[in-house]
Amino acid sequence: MLSKDTSTQTLVPAGIYRHYKGQRYQVLYCARHSETEEWQVVYRCLYGEFSLWVRPLAMFIESVSLENGLAVPRFALEIATEFTSPDLNRL
């Protein structure tokens, strides 16, 4: 279990990930659910309408079993990028 004060930088690095089925996604950041405080990964499809999605962290980092029985990561990091926080002083 992750502590409530875990740095979002250490959960899942921002970057480009490949889903085990082949599509690519951009992880933007991690956030906590407002009611359960469960960590979530916020990411964008890099195809189609480039829609935004949220998936529980535990699901994002888990391994899945392929038909041949091989266990692989659900999402594999391809390119790490730096997350840039918005300038809140400009609001």
pLDDT in tens, 13-30: 999 999 999 999 999 999
> CATH number for the 8-82 domain, one of 3.40.630.10, 3.40.50.11820, 2.30.30.320, 3.30.2310.20?
2.30.30.320
Place of tokens 């970057």: 15
pTM recorded for the entire structure: 0.80
Of residues 38 and 2, more confidence is placed in 38
Mean pLDDT of 58-74: 97
Q: What is the pLDDT of residue 1?
A: 45
Q: What is the pLDDT of residue 47?
A: 97
Mean pLDDT of 59-76: 97
3-state per-residue secondary structure call for 12-37:
CCCEEEEECCCCEEEEEEEEECCCCC
Q: What is the pLDDT of residue 11?
A: 81
Domain ranges for the chain: 8-82
